Every structure is written in C-alpha cells, then in structure tokens.
Amino acid sequence: MAAAAATTPHSLLLQPRGEPGRAVEGGRHFLLTPPLGPCRQDLAERGVYNFAAGPATLPLSVLKRAQAELVDYHGSGMSIMEMSHRGKEFDAAIKKAEADLRALLAVPDTHAVLFLQGGATTQFAAVPLNLCAGPSDPADFVVSGSWSDKAFKEAKKFSAASVAWSGKDGKYTALPPFDAIKQNPEARFLHICSNETIHGVEFKDYPEPRNKSGILVADMSSNFCSKPVDVSRFGVIYAGAQKNVGPSGVTVAIVRKDLIGAAQPITPVMLDFKTHADNASLYNTPPCFAIYICGLVFEDLLAQGGLAEVEKKNAHKAGILYDTIDASGGYYVCPVDKSVRSHMNVPFTLAKGPDFEKQFIAEAAKEGMVQLKGHRSVGGVRASIYNAMPLAGVEKLVAFMKDFQARNP
C-alpha cells in the first residue's frame, strides 16, 4: 500500500527535478524543504535571464523553496495559499517576515512595518491622507521622473502639494543639489522617489526635510532592500514588492509610529495606516502568498550577509554594464548623469537608431536575454538588474553588447 501511495499522481504533483524527495509521515506525503542560501543561476537551469523592470526575476533558491512547500506547507497538509491568515502557520510566517525585514534594514522600534495591498500607487493617496490635516495642508515633492510625477499629481487631490524641484526640462536625467530644492518650511512632508524605474535615476544620499515636522517620505519601490538605508531619517518608506523582494500583490510600508492615527476624516479605512498598524497587517485577508515569498527573499538576503554585501554585488554588476556602455565610443548611450545612475535600472539607446534597438532586443531574446525593451514612454533599451539578477546574466549581456557592436559597426 505504501508503495502504491508513493506513486499516485497526487504524490508526484509538482515533484521538482533535482530536489530532495518526498517524505512520508503518518501516511501523508510532503516535499522536503531545501535550505535557502546563495544559489547560482545559469542559463541552462531557467532558460532565460529576465531583465524585466517588474514583476522581476526572483532568486532561484526562493522559487525552489516555494515549489517544495507549495502543496504541503510545513506538514500542515495545506498550501499557504489555502490556510487561514489568522492561523498559527501564517501568523508565524508574517511575523518572521517582519522580523527578518527589521533585521535587514535595522528598522528602529519607532517605526511600524506594514504589509499592504494596492501597490505603491495606492500610497500616492495614502501618504497625504495620513500626513496632511486637510486639502489645504502643503506638501513638497521632488519630481525626478514618471513615478514621482504621478505621486505629486495624486497628492494634489488630498493636499496643497507643490513641486519643490523638477527634472522634466532635463528629461529626468539628473537630480538636484539638495540646496536647489525649494522647500516650504510649512510643508507637512518632503516626498522623493529614491529610484526612478523608467528613467534610471537613483538618489545616492537623501535630502534633509526643512518642514517643521522633519518628515521625509520615499517611494523606494525599485531599490528597496538593494542597499542599507538609515530608516530613522524617514517618516514613511513605501515600496511595491515586485522589483526586489517578492511578487506583485504586496506593498511594504515602514511608518514612523507618531505619524499614525491622525488621518483625514475622509480617509478610506484601507488607506488609514492606523487600520493596519492596530491589526498587525491582518485587518482583512492580506496577500498571503506574496507576503510568504517576501519572507523567503528576506531570509535569502540575510543568508547572503545582509544588505551591505548585497549592495557590493549590485554595484559590481552595474559597474560592468555602465563601463561597457561608456567604453563603446558612443555606440551605446546612457543619458543619465553618472553621479546618479541607478544600480537597479539601466536605460540606454543605440546611436544607430530605433531600428537597431529593435534588432538588438530581438537578437538578445534569441540568446536568452529577455524583457530588455525600454519603457513605452521613453523607448530604447532598459536592463533591470535587481538583487536576484545573477552576475552571469550581466556578464552575458555585456558580451552580447560587444559582439552586437562588432557585427553592426
């Protein structure tokens, strides 16, 4: 009977190749969980290197762990997608995810960690609704690209938002000297986007807010957990997970606790930080599977040695790619000022024009490098090289770039 049970279709469902076998306990079959840790990804194992801007590539070790736990989570007989968000298994998972994130970023006790829904775009409204007393309360915005511009426009609905600096005239290729940011001392907060995914502009340091409350707010969606950050400098940090820390569906918000509880009366219950802080992110059914994956990613980042080590790897990958662009004699062009080039999103064009860019993207895809097309609003090529992009992927891309240039002088 045992042998028959071990070979039923159900028992073989999702059995991963090369993974540890299925254990049997009390007549129930479940996959053994592989440990997390540094995991090399080669082209033969996944078929492609995925340079997408988001949803983006995830660590292979995390995907294998999730695969192994998918049918039977920790011997519960259920997938984590099936179990109650108020049960002991998921309670342990979300608490560990928060604890590991706090360890990664050294989040102080003065700040709450919230796992939210609606993407970072929903926080464009939530921030002014929670931080401004009403629509006449001023707020300052540094508009350094498409996402900070969208945040500003949304905030105008719920505050007297104004642009303290804009990079639009320069096509969002630079960031301002901090003394050039025309801050209103009466502004409730200063908002920045720490890394513009579309334009490839990244803050290497952060401005000091001059408002009375000292509130700096950052959309960190596309460089969240890519490097250490002094969380104590921020009133609010928010980030969609789907770039560096998980799948789409969950947004992480780190909020200074003294800023929670004074939302405008019109604030919807799901946009009120207090709703989620008071209920440990469990006011309603959260995006359980996405939070679980984030937890695995946090564990993986800790296993790599933490964010200081991750930052070194990211800087090395970005350096290889930018050096190739700059050494091409103008064949490839990155328009972003060198001092603020993103380590996460590298946009570039080909001097020979859009037709060659299309050819470049098509040929790269045939070689296993996909999702290199630039954002529809700017065109060109964009290589997103988040935490989970292995060094081998960047090395393959730069080798292809050199070969393409040699074949198409």
Whether 279 and 311 map to the same domain: the answer is: no
Which residues are CB-contacts of 290 (< 8 A; sequence separation ≥ 6)? 241, 246, 247, 248, 249, 250
122 SS3 class: helix
Q: What letter would DSSP give residue 271? A: G
Other beta carbons within 10 Å of 133: 12
30 assigned to some structural domain: no
Burial label, 358 (beta-carbon count in 10 A; 0-12, 13-18, 19+): middle
Let me know if residue 18 belongs to a domain: no
Are 235 and 311 in the same domain? no
In a domain, 228, yes or no: yes
Provide the annotated active-site residues. 147, 219, 243
SS3 (DSSP) at 277: helix
Q: What is the CATH number of the domain that holds 107?
A: 3.40.640.10
pLDDT of the residue at 45? 78
List the beta bridge partners of residue 282.
Answer: none
User: Among candidates 140, 154, 226, which has minimal Cα distance to 184?
Assistant: 140
Q: Does some domain include residue 194?
A: yes
* Distance from chain centroid for Cα 353: 31
Structure-token pair, residue 216: 């700096």
pLDDT of residue 42: 56
Residues 198 and 284 in one domain: yes
Name the maximum alpha-carbon separation found in the chain: 76
Q: Side-chain half-sphere of 229: how many Cα atoms within 13 Å?
A: 25
**Looking at 278, 304, 330, which one is the last position of a domain?**
304
Q: Are residues 317 and 241 in the same domain?
A: no
348 shares a domain with 283 = no
d(CA 79, CA 64): 15
- Whether 229 and 216 have beta carbons less than 8 Å apart is answered as no
Do 347 and 297 lie in a common domain?
no
Please check whether residues 281 and 138 belong to one and the same domain: yes
350, part of any domain? yes
**Number of domains, the chain:** 2
Distance CA 403, CA 271 (A): 50
Domain boundary pick from 304, 331, 365: 304
> Within a domain: residue 273?
yes
Q: Of 44, 17, 40, give the one whose Cα is nearest residue 368.
A: 44
Output the pLDDT for position 5: 38
- Rg for the chain (alpha carbons), in Å? 23
105/168 same-domain check? yes
Does a structural domain hold residue 14?
A: no
Single residue among 250, 282, 304 that ends a domain in this structure: 304
89, 197: one domain: yes
Share in percent of the chain as helix, strand, coil (round to 5):
40, 15, 45
Whether omega for the bond prior to residue 228 falls within 30 degrees of 0, making it cis, is no
Distance CA 294, CA 65 (A): 12
| Residues 280, 376 share a domain | no
| Residue 3 buriedness (CB in 10 A; 0-12 / 13-18 / 19+) | exposed
pLDDT of residue 252: 98
Judge contact between 165 and 174, C-beta under 8 A.
no
Mean pLDDT by 10 residues, the chain (409 residues): 37 36 41 47 77 96 96 95 94 97 98 97 98 97 98 98 97 97 97 98 97 94 98 98 97 98 98 98 97 98 98 98 98 98 98 96 97 94 98 97 97
**152 lies in the same domain as 278:** yes
Cβ–Cβ contacts within 10 Å for residue 252, how many? 27
Residues comprising the chain, all counted = 409
* Domain harbouring 311, CATH code: 3.90.1150.10
User: Does residue 295 sit in the same domain as residue 361?
Assistant: no
Q: Tell me, what's the pLDDT at 393?
A: 96
- What domain range includes position 277? 66-304
Q: Residue 36: inside a domain, yes or no?
A: no
Q: Nearest CA to 228 among 349, 104, 51?
A: 104
How far is Cα 55 from Cα 243, in angstroms, rounded to an integer?
6
DSSP string of 93-114, one letter each residue: HHHHHHHHHHHHHT--TTEEEE
Alpha-carbon gap, residue 356 to 372, rounded angstroms:
13
